[in-house]
Amino acid sequence: MTQQHYDKLERMYLGANVNTQIFDTTTVRISEREAEIGLTVTEKYFHALGAMHGSVYFKLLDDAAFFAVNSIVTDAFVLTTSFNINLIRPVSSGKIKAIGQVRFESKNIYTAESTLYNEAGKEIAFGTGNFAKSKIVLSEEIGYK
């Protein structure tokens, strides 16, 4: 794996519509077998009780695990085939980060886990997912540039 591959994945992530139009405070850092996704919590992510909605937890955990896997797949886009999350504590302010790491790999199937931390470094959620190598080539057409 090369830094150029990680840089292209980071640009692809930051350029995705969901990250430019909804999650505008997202940060990303990708390295071999690991990815870190950061977000500044704002009220736009809250449910009715004034804390971050579970869908945001899911997105950050899935993204971190997904890009940890795609860091070691250099020729194709991977797809999430399943992902399970566990919510531990609510969050309503500050910066949070999800750190994903590859746990298992075979020819076309991968398992990765990720943990979401609040600004104080406390674990607020974790998840495990399975990912499959797709037939979609990593190319400029999908933002890999």
pLDDT in tens, 12-55: 999 999 999 998 778 999 999 999 999 999 999 999 999 999 99
For 7, 98, 107, 111, 126, the CA distances from 92, given in Å and listed in that order, are 31, 16, 40, 30, 17
pLDDT band at 75 (very low <50, low <70, confident <90, very high): very high
- Structural domain of 73: 3-142
pTM of this prediction? 0.96
CATH number of the domain that 123 lies in? 3.10.129.10
Number of domains comprising the chain: 1
pLDDT of 29: 98
Please check the confidence at residue 133 and state whether its pLDDT lies above 80.
yes
Which residue's structure tokens are 């004034």? 50
pLDDT of 25: 74
